[in-house]
Structures are given as structure tokens and as C-alpha cells.
Chains A and B, each alone.
Chain A
């Protein structure tokens, strides 16, 4: 359900957004970020691969998002350990705002988004002649994606 909503949001709305040609928010990766922390790492890799492939299918970029998402899934256990080592996660618990706090979630998301976007923009062109432009695209897009993810979470998270 969450998967379908995020993919539709990405494909129908966000892929049509064009902010000055540099900024591409890819909110769909929130799905991978929110998989249970203690989920089998190999399963996460597979899920990330198929999530990316779904986005690729609708965006005519076969392989691009799949590759970047797999890299994100590969880096995820390390980043989780780096930021949330002292926190105890239950069997099916996810690293959400409530569990790790806004600050913690922001750091976790930003680092993984930067990894994902770097791979994405590198693989898109395989051309380093415009290195500054690429860095600008990665930086701005990563920032907007991270903020977008926080906004989506705050809008949809259940309130008490």
C-alpha cells in the first residue's frame, strides 16, 4: 500500500516537476528507508532492486533507479549502525520519526539520499565533463528530496 502510493506520487507528480532543470526530488526511496530495521539484508537488496525497476519502467530509464536503489540498500545497514547504534529496535520496527526523532531521521535520510542521488546522476550520463553542474544537481536534489520526505512523513504519520 505504501509502495503503491509512493510510486504513484513519484511517477505521476514528482517526475513532472522541473525546478530550473537542476532539482529532481525522488521521494520514492522513503519506501526503502522505512523497511524494518532488522529485516534480512538480502531481502532489502531485492526489494530495493524491484522498487527502482518499477520507477525505471515508468520513467524509461531501465536500470538507472534499480542500480542506485540497490546501492542505497547496500549502504543502509552501515548507516543505521552509524547513527542508531544505542537504539533497540523491535522485530518489525522501522526507523521512523517517532523512534529516532526528527534530528536522527534527518541525518539518516540525508546521508542515504546523497549516496543514492550521487549514483543516480553519475550513472545517468557517465560523463564527467560537467562535474560542477553534476555536483550542483546532486546537492540541490538531495536537499529537496530529504525535505520532501520529512514533509510526507509529517503529513501522513498518525498523530496522538
Chain B
């Protein structure tokens, strides 16, 4: 009994640490964070009340009007329509955009998240892409009734399929956790030379982002000898630190694409 009492404190300490680690383990993987998301209207409401005080100073209504107008314009863009061959144009739009206000955001952690004020009631679903007016912003990983949680591009598990705009070569974009304005471009074929200012856009392969959304522009390329794939640094086109409004992207073809992929996997 005395033994138990002596080590009770230590045992409790170990137990609580184990619980913490089990909770934490979910955040290391993108797929696990899709399953465990603690979004609730409670934290959303707290942040949006505070945010409404903050944005009082930034011409809130004017911004929102502009945003609605932009949404309309985007829906009319040629890239929003599916054109399977030259003689037939699908009359319905392929992507739908939903505007939302960012109520909470961070850029200084190793894994950053945002909270926006549109949720399942507005048709938001997990794995929808999120973009800003300037470029990509993140991916929806959880929803409550009125709010959604977004995994920012500034996350260690981020891996976005991109394309070099000038020659359509496929690359991957990741973030190393240091500077919120800079990302890393991986898997560049070694014969490709990039110049400062070259644009990297989304490839459209991921089913989350439409093709051609700007990710950023190249700052410099590291040339490594005897390596088949090179790396480069890019400056994100989205300023994550000042992000206030975003668009959530609903891919109308996603169920069809998903079922096709599942079919392929099962064979």
C-alpha cells in the first residue's frame, strides 16, 4: 500500500502523458486528422465574436460585397465548365465557389489551421479545397453546423500536386515549417531549369483543387549534382498572415471521380 502511494503521483503522470500522446498522434497524419476533428460551434462563436470586433476597422461590408461579386465572376470563367470535346460543352458548371470569412488563423506553428464561418449547413464537406483571391489556402478537414476547420497549406503534412506553368511539368509543393511566406517545390525533373518568377499552379490531379490555381512564384532553385529530381523555393501568392476571406471549392464531379478511383483500386 505504501509502495502504491509512493508511486501514485508518478503513475498518474505517466498515464496523463500517454493520453496526451494518443490525442496528439492524430495530428501527425493528414488522414487521421480527417477522422478526429474537434470542430464545434462553441469555439467558432468565440472566435467570430472577437473577429467581428477586429474587422470593424476594415470596411467589412465593402469587402463582402466585392467577394460576392467575385464569386459570381468565377462561376462564369471558362475553367469552371467541363468541356470534354470541342463540339460539346457541358452546360452546368464543374466547380462551385462558396465565400467564407476567416475567423481564426495562425501562421507561426508547425501545423497551422484556420476556422471559417461556413459549415455543414452551407454545404461544406471535408476535403473541399480552399483558395484565397490570390492563390491556394488549404483543405477542409472538419465541419460543424456553422463553421469549418481548414488545414492550412502551412502544415507539415501538406503535399500539393502542382505544375510548372510554362512547360506543364508536374511537381509537388510542401512546407518546411519555417517561413510562412515560402514553400518548397520538390520532384522537379533535373533537366528543367527554373527562373526567378516562374509560376507554379495546381495540377488538377488531386480532385481537390481545380487546375491552374496559382500556388506561388519561384524564388530560387537549388541545383544538386547527380540527383534526378531537384528542389526549389517558392513564394506563396497567398499572404497567409493577412487572410480574411476565402473561397471553398465544391467539385461537382468529385463523387463520380471518387467512385471511378475506387473501382480501379478494387480490381
Contacts and interface: CB of A to CB of B under 8 A. Distances in A.
Interface of A: 11-12, 15-16, 18, 21, 24, 41-42, 45-46, 49, 52, 56-64, 66-67, 70-71, 73-74, 123-127, 130, 133
A21 to B, nearest CB: 5
Contact of A133 (B43, B106, B113, B178): B178
Chain A facing B: main interface SS: helix
A45 B13 contact: yes
B16 to A, nearest CB: 4
B221 interface: no
A66 B20 contact: yes
Given A45-B16, A126-B28, A58 B23 contact: no
Nearest to B42: A57
Contacts of A73: 13
B156 interface: yes
Contact of B17 (A15, A46, A71): A71
Contacts of A41: 9
A145 B7 CA distance: 32
B107 interface: yes
A123 B113 CA distance: 17
Contact of B20 (A12, A63, A127, A130): A63
A11 B46 CA distance: 10
A106 B186 CA distance: 46
Most B-side CB within 10 Å, residue of A49, A60, A70 = A60
Contact of B108 (A21, A46, A57, A67): A21
Given A62-B24, A125-B110, A70 B241 contact: no
Interface in B223-255: 241
B179 A67 contact: no
B26 interface: yes
A45 B109 contact: no
A65 to B, nearest CB: 9
The B interface is mostly helix, strand or loop, or mixed, namely helix
B43 A124 contact: no
B43 A123 contact: no
Contacts of B17: 67, 70-71
Contact of A45 (B12, B107, B113, B156): B12
B261 interface: no
B109 A61 contact: yes
A53 to B, nearest CB: 8
A56 B22 CA distance: 14
Contact of B9 (A11, A45, A67): A45
A67 B21 contact: yes
Contacts of B20: 49, 52, 63-64, 66-67, 70
Nearest to B176: A130
Interface in B1-50: 8-9, 12-13, 16-17, 19-28, 36, 38, 43, 46-47, 50
B157 to A, nearest CB: 12
B179 A21 contact: yes
B12 A58 contact: no
B179 A63 contact: no
B133 interface: no
B111 A61 contact: yes
B204 interface: no
Given A15-B106, A124-B111, A133-B178, A70 B23 contact: no
B163 interface: no
Contact of A12 (B22, B28, B50): B50
A73 B15 CA distance: 13
Contact of A60 (B22, B25, B113): B113
Interface in B180-199: 180
